[in-house]
Structure 1
C-alpha cells in the first residue's frame, strides 16, 4: 500500500506540474526555456536551473520527492556551501540561495521610517529586482561566465526555438533586433517565469492550516508559539509569520521574511574552496560603502524566506551550518555554548561556536541566548517543516488528499490572495 501511495503521489505531481506549465503565457514559456538553457554559459554546461534546480529535491525527509527547493542539488548531495561555475574550479564565496518566492522581494530601497535597507535580490541586495538578478549570473566569471551581452545574444540566435518565442512574447525578430533589446527582454522573461506558481506555490501545510483545511500537530503548534513568542524564540521578529491585510482589506500570506538585512554573527566557513576572506555583505558593496563611512552595514545579509527551508541545506550566507537542527541551535546558543576553533572542530555546534566572521553590527538583541530547551528547539524545527510546499503530495493527510488544489489564489505581483476554503466562503455569504 505504501508503494502504491508513492506511485499515486508521483502521478499527481506530474499532473500538477503539467497544469502549471500549460498555464504559462508566452513570456513565461520563453523564460522557462532560457532558465534551463545550458548553452547560455561559456562552456555550455550551466544554466540558471543548475544552481536553482526545478527538479524535486532528493530528501530523506520527504521520500515522495515531490518538492523542489530551487537550490543547487550538488550542494544538497555533497553538503558543499558554494556552487561551481561554468569554468572549471571557479566557485563563489556565498551559499546559493533558493529562487523560491524571490519574486515577492520589493525593489531595493532605503526605508526612511525604519532606518534600514529593504528588498532587492541576492544576499547583499545588489540587484534591485528579478530582471537585474537574472542578468548577473550570465556575465559573472564565477557563474555562467559569458564575456558580454552580445555573446549571450549570439547563443540565443543559435537556437531556432527562440525566434518564435521572442516574437510571441515581445513581438521582436531576434535576428534583426539590437543586442541590448534582446538581452534585456531575455532577462525580463526569466523574471516573468520566476513570478509564476512554479516557484511560488503556497501549498505548505501551514498554508492549508491558514485556510482551515487541516491542523498542526501538538509539537508543530508548540513550535509556532515559540516561533512567535517575543520573550523566547522571537523568530517572527524578522521572519514574519502572520497573514496581514493590505489597504483594500485583502489577505496577504506570510513570506517568513521582512526582506531586511542582518548580521547574525555566523562563524567563518573554512570548508569553502580556497578558504576565501569573509564576504562583507551589504556593507561590502561599493555604492553602500560610499554612503556609509562608519561601516554600519558591514556583515549584514538579506533575511531570506523560511518557506521550503527544510529543503535548502546548508544554511547561512556562507553555508557554515549543516542542518536545520544546527541552525536553530545556533540561534539559541550562539552566545552561551562555549568556543570552538572552526567548523572542522569536533565540538562545533556541540560544545562551542567559533568567533563571528564579522563582529561589527552583530545582532545581539534577537538571538544568541534565547533560553530554549532541546525539546523547544525541536519543536521549532518541527514547525519549520510545515513550511514545505506540496503538502497535499507528501503529507499523507486525510484532510488534504493528493488531489487538493492550492488553498489560495495568488497574485504574484502583489501577494494578494483570496481564501478558497469553505469556512471562509460561508462566513462571507
Structure 2
C-alpha cells in the first residue's frame, strides 16, 4: 500500500509541473488513475494492486488468497478466478465471433465479457469483491474530489464531462476514466517485447542448448501442440503475443481453495465462456481465453482458477493426456483430478507426442525466455 501511495505521489507531483505547452496526455492521466487507490470504497486498492507494474502486472500480495485469488478492498472478499496478467492484454482484439474459424476471439477477462480494455476498466471499481464502489456516480464523485482530475477531464473530454443531466448509457466522466486507463494500457509499458527471445530474434542473445530445444519443440507440429493455442503469427515472428486470443477447454480441474475463498459451494462449476452474456451455445461451456505466454514464468499461479502453482506442473498436466506414465500431479502427489467441465474438452488440441522430462525442462526453459527484460530478476533459478 505504501508503494502505491508513493508511486501516486511521484506521478501527481510530476503532473503538477506539466505546463500548457506539454499538457498531459490521456495515457498519462490513465497511469495516474491506474495507481490511485481513491477509486475503491475504502481507498485501499487501485488497479495496480492486482496488476502490479513491478510484478509483471499480476497480484503478488502475500494476502492474495494464497496466490490463487485477490483480496478485495473490504479486507475479506475474494474473487472466484485468478486475476489475469494485464501485460499484453492490449494485443487482444475486441470480442467477436470469427465465422471462418467458428471460434470466439478476443475481449478481456477470462470469459471475454468485456469487449475492450475500456470496458474491462469499468468492471473492478464497481465489483463488490474487488474495489467495491456502489455505482459509477460514486466513482465520478471521487474524480471530482480532486481539482487536478476535474481540470484534466474537462480539457480531455470537454467542459460538459461531469454533466449528468442528459441521459447517457455510461456517465461521460466514467467513460473518460475507462478510456484513460485503456490509453495507458495501450502504451509500450504493457508490451515491451524485449525478452531474451526478442533479443534472440535481433541477434542480441544466444539461446542455450535447452532453450533452443524448447523453441524447436514449441514450434513443431510433430511433437507438441502448443502453437494451436499460443501462436498468432508464424514461427519466430516479431512481436508475437503467444496467444491466438481464442477460447479452449483443456480439462482444467476445479480448485477447492479458490471456491472456499470466494465463498462458493463445493462442486460449483465455472462455465467460462458460457458465463459471457453474448454466448449461449452449450458447446462453448467451460472454455476460457488462451492467455499470453509472455511473462508466464513470473505470473504464477496458472489457469483461470490458479489450480497449478508451478509452470512445470502445467506441462506435466498437458502431457498426462498423451503419456500413460504421467499419472500423478506433482504438487499434490495424487492422481490428476477430473476436468471441471468434462463434456467440451478440446481433445484434438491436446493430442501430442509423449514428453520426456528433458523435453518438459526444455519447454519450461523456452517459456522463461519470454519474460520481459525488467522482470527477469523475478524468475526463480
Taking structure 1 as the reference length, the TM-score comes to 0.75
Give the match for residue 403 of structure 1.
none
My pick for the range that moved more, 223-232 or 377-386, is 223-232
Post-superposition CA distance 1:10-40 (Å, at most 9, x none): xxxxxxxx9xxx9995101111111111111
Offset of residue 152 of structure 1: 0.3
8 Å contact from structure 1 (residues 84, 143) kept in 2: yes
Q: Counterparts in 2 of 1:16-415, with a 5 A limit?
A: 26-55=25-54, 57=55, 69-74=56-61, 79-172=66-159, 180-240=171-231, 243=234, 253-272=239-258, 273=261, 274=263, 276=265, 277-289=268-280, 292=281, 295-334=282-321, 336=324, 346-348=332-334, 352-367=335-350, 370-390=353-373
Report SS of the residue matched to 2:181.
Answer: helix
CA separation of 1:210 and 1:391: change in aligned 2, threshold 3 A:
farther
Offset of residue 88 of structure 1: 3.0
Give distance in 2, aligned partners of 1:312 and 1:228. 22
Give distance in 2, aligned partners of 1:308 and 1:24. 33
Offset of residue 232 of structure 1: 1.5
8 Å contact from structure 2 (residues 224, 352) kept in 1: no
Higher helix share: 2
Offset of residue 285 of structure 1: 2.7
My pick for the range that moved more, 175-184 or 153-162, is 175-184
8 Å contact from structure 2 (residues 161, 172) kept in 1: no
Q: Number of residues paired by the alignment?
A: 349
CA separation of 1:284 and 1:77: change in aligned 2, threshold 3 A:
closer
Give distance in 2, aligned partners of 1:79 and 1:347. 19
Offset of residue 142 of structure 1: 1.3
Offset of residue 167 of structure 1: 3.5
Unpaired stretches in structure 2, ≥5 consecutive residues:
1-13
Give the match for residue 406 of structure 1.
none
Report SS of the residue matched to 1:110.
Answer: strand
Offset of residue 278 of structure 1: 2.5
Give distance in 2, aligned partners of 1:228 and 1:255. 14
Report SS of the residue matched to 2:141.
Answer: helix
Report SS of the residue matched to 1:192.
Answer: helix
Report SS of the residue matched to 1:232.
Answer: coil
CA separation of 1:75 and 1:24: change in aligned 2, threshold 3 A:
farther
Offset of residue 237 of structure 1: 1.3
Post-superposition CA distance 1:184-219 (Å, at most 9, x none): 011000000000011111111111111222221111
Measured on the aligned residues, the alpha-carbon RMSD in Å equals: 2.8
CA separation of 1:28 and 1:244: change in aligned 2, threshold 3 A:
farther
Give distance in 2, aligned partners of 1:215 and 1:344. 32
Report SS of the residue matched to 1:287.
Answer: coil
CA separation of 1:184 and 1:242: change in aligned 2, threshold 3 A:
closer
Unpaired stretches in structure 1, ≥5 consecutive residues:
1-17, 58-68, 246-250, 396-429
Taking structure 2 as the reference length, the TM-score comes to 0.84
8 Å contact from structure 1 (residues 330, 368) kept in 2: no
CA separation of 1:393 and 1:229: change in aligned 2, threshold 3 A:
closer
CA separation of 1:122 and 1:149: change in aligned 2, threshold 3 A:
same
Give distance in 2, aligned partners of 1:116 and 1:190. 28
